[in-house]
Structure 1
Amino acid sequence: MDHLPTTEAAVDALRAIADEYAREIEVTHDIGADQTSRRTTAGVGVTTDADGSLPHEAHVELGGLPVVSVRLYPEDDALITVDGVECPDVDRDDVPAFVRALYDGGAWVRTRRFPPGDFLMVPLPGDRVHKEFVLVGLTPWLAARVR
């Protein structure tokens, strides 16, 4: 696993994946404590954190199916949304592997009969699996991956 030391490095990795899988990509950047979503107490015009660092957050939209968006936070984690299923707290270093698993067909949906529920399962490096409850119902892309 490659270490992605910055938000920009993660965006570059996602650009490479988009190019590899022929997906459109749209990236927006929020730079400064007064612009990033988790710095709501920063105050207007305050661009640096208390330690003097300049937080950088990016939002990435990838084209095609499944519908994938990635919000990369300055705290080294991300929120990845797959066809309406929010997968919070994904480590920034795992973001490229997560997205590749979606495009390579490695991700699947596990259905539980009782109590009923569906879970998006995304394999990650190191024999780990990100498991997320599907609250929104199964889209055609998700339904095609039920095991």
Structure 2
Amino acid sequence: MDAVNAPTLPAALAETREDFLALGVSDRLQLLLEFSNELPGLPERYRDHPDLFERVIECQSPVFIFVEVADDDTVAMFGTAPPEAPTTRGFASILAQGLSGLSAAEALAVPDDFPQTLGLAEAVSPLRVRGMTGMLARAKRQIRERLAERG
């Protein structure tokens, strides 16, 4: 962990990164698949509103995300990805679990290169890592938009 990113990486994401880096390449892929099985389901209020979700076009698979910011600035990230795209589901799960519960400021402070720091470049294609980077960028943009909407 480098000194530049250490202060801004929230505990849950720092722990996830440490978990990945402690493993060999094949075990990192297995951990990513475990995360894919842990992608939180959508709350009832969003199940019938696919129009609220934004497609992450950087992902090869159809991935959609939506971020809400509560009145107390707490972030909640939701995502959908098909079961037949476990890598992408894993990335969405890491971000949904890692960003949800943070303050908007904490989420916005997550380094843009966080996906590249997980040590997955050897296990999955660069295009897939780029997809996770796109998810993070879109989540941060949605947080900024939600804050701006409040004035």
Normalized against structure 2, the TM-score is what? Answer: 0.29
Normalized against structure 1, the TM-score is what? Answer: 0.29
Q: Which has the higher strand share?
A: 1
Q: Which of these two proteins has the greater Rg computed from alpha carbons?
A: 1
Q: Relative contact order: is structure 1 or structure 2 higher (C-alpha 8 Å, sep ≥ 6)? A: 2
